[in-house]
Amino acid sequence: MPGNSIGQRLVLTSFGESHGRCVGAVLDGCPAGLELDEKDIQGMLDQRKPGQSLVSTQRKEGDQVEILSGVFRGYTTGAPIAMIIWNKDQHSRDYEELQTKMRPGHSDYPAMVKYKGFNDYRGGGRFSGRLTATHVMGGAIARKLLKETLKIETHSYTIKIGKISTDDQFNLKMKNQIYTNEVRCPNQKTAERMRQAILAARKSGDSLGGIIESTTLNVPVGLGEPIFGSLESDIGKAIYSIPSVKGVEFGSGFAGSELFGSQNNDSYISKGGKISTRTNNAGGILGGLSNGMPIVMRVAFKPASSIAKKQSTVDIRTKKPATLQVQGRHDPCVVPRAPPVVDSLVSLVIADHALIGGFIKPVL
C-alpha cells in the first residue's frame, strides 16, 4: 500500500491496522534539540482516544504511546522518531459477516477488489479511523515544534452536529472551553444540544455528521510553495486522509462565491508598522501562501457509516441482495474525537513548510 507517508522535509509514515497488534508512526525530519517526552504526545492522544463518553465508541483503548527511537536524554536527536500504540480491546469476531456482506458507506468493497481479498477487513483494517491515532502521534510533535520555535498554535473545535450549530467567532478565551464538554464545542449551551442529538441518533441506531472549524494563529507571511505545493493544497490533502471527511473550505469558502469582489476582498491596513487585513475572507492564504492572518478552515464530516439500523447490501459470495445490521462498537458521530486529529495534520503541514522555507532550522 503506497501512500502511507506525507510531507517533504517533515515526513510522517503511518503503519498498522485497526485490529492488528499495534498502530504506529515514524516521524522523520524533526530538528534535533526539541525537548520531547511521551507525555507531550500522550496529551493529544488522550483527547482523541475511544471510550471516553457515550457520544463515542465504547471500545476501550488506553492508547499509551511508546517512543522507540529518535529521543535521547529528553531531546530529539534528528533521527527518525518511531512510536507505537498497542491494540488491546479488539472484538474481531464482530466482523466475520463482513467478509462477504459489504457495509454501505465503507471502503469494504473497493478495498476487497483492489487487494483481491488480502486486505485486513477487521474493524476496517487500514481504512479505519483508528489509524488517526498515528496522525496524532506525529502531529503532537509538530505542534510542539511550532509552538516552541514560531509561537504558532492551532485550535480545532466543533461548530456543527447535524443541524445544530454555533456561529461564535473564535477567540483566545474560547480555547480553554473546547475540551470542557464531550462534543468539543466552545459554546457550552450549544454543546449540550449537540450531545443530546448524538445520543438520540445512537438510541435509534443511526449516526450524525458535522463540521469542525480550525484556527491557526501567529502564522508568518510566506509559507507555501506554488503551484502544486500551495499551503491550501497540502493542508487539504492531509485533511482528506481522515476517514469520513467530505469537504474542506478556507475563509469565506463556498459562501464567498455568492459575494461581490468588493465584499469578499480583504483590504490591507497598517497598524503599529504591521501590515494585516481588515477582514479575513481569504482564510489566511493567498496564492497558496500564508499572508500573516489566522488560517481559518472548516472540515465537513459525513455521518458515521457503521450504524445499527438494518441496511440493504449485496453478498459478494452469492451476488444476491442481502441485509446487514452492523455489529460491534462504533462512534454514533466521529466529530467529537476529530479536533485533535485536525490540529495534528494542520500542524504537520505547517511545520513541514516552515522547514522547507527556512523558518525553522534543522538543529534548534
Domains of the chain: which residue ranges?
Answer: 5-356
pLDDT of 103 > 90? The answer is no
Dist. CA 261–CA 258, nearest whole Å: 10
- Angle at CA of residue 227, ends 226 and 231, nearest 5°: 55
Averaged pLDDT, 13-36: 95
Whether the per-residue pLDDT at 51 is higher than 70: the answer is: no
Q: For residues 41 and 52, is the Cβ–Cβ distance under 8 A?
A: no
Give the number of C-alpha atoms closer than 13 A to the C-alpha of residue 89, restricted to the C-beta side. 14
* Per-residue model confidence (pLDDT) at position 19: 87
pLDDT tier for residue 92 given thresholds of 50, 70 and 90: low
Give the per-residue pLDDT at 46: 93
| Grid cell at residue 97 | 459477516
Pick the CATH number of 5-356 from 3.30.565.10, 3.60.150.10, 2.40.100.10, 3.40.50.10860: 3.60.150.10
Q: What is the pLDDT of residue 108?
A: 86
Q: What's the chain's average pLDDT?
A: 92
Give the pTM: 0.94
For the segment 118-127, what is each residue's pLDDT rounded down to a tens digit?
888 887 788 8
Q: In sequence order, what are the residues at sequence separation of 6 or more whose Cβ sits closer than 8 angstroms to the Cβ of residue 104? A: 305, 311, 312, 313, 324
| pLDDT higher at 315 or 251 | 251
Rounded mean pLDDT, 94-114:
82
CA 218 to chain centre: 21
- Between the CA of residue 142 and those of 7, 20, 350, what are the distances in Å? 12, 26, 8
Q: What local confidence, expressed as pLDDT, does residue 120 receive?
A: 84
3-class SS string, 147-194: HHHHCCEEEEEEEEECCEECCCCCCHHHHHCHHHCCCCCCCHHHHHHH
* pLDDT tens readout for residues 186-245: 999 999 999 999 999 999 999 999 999 999 999 999 999 999 999 999 999 999 999 999
Q: From CA 115, how far away is CA 1, in angstroms rounded?
A: 9
Residue 58's H or E segment, with its range, is: none
The beta-strand segments (E) located in 66-152 are: 66-67, 71-72, 75-76, 81-86
Pick the more confident residue, 57 or 30: 30
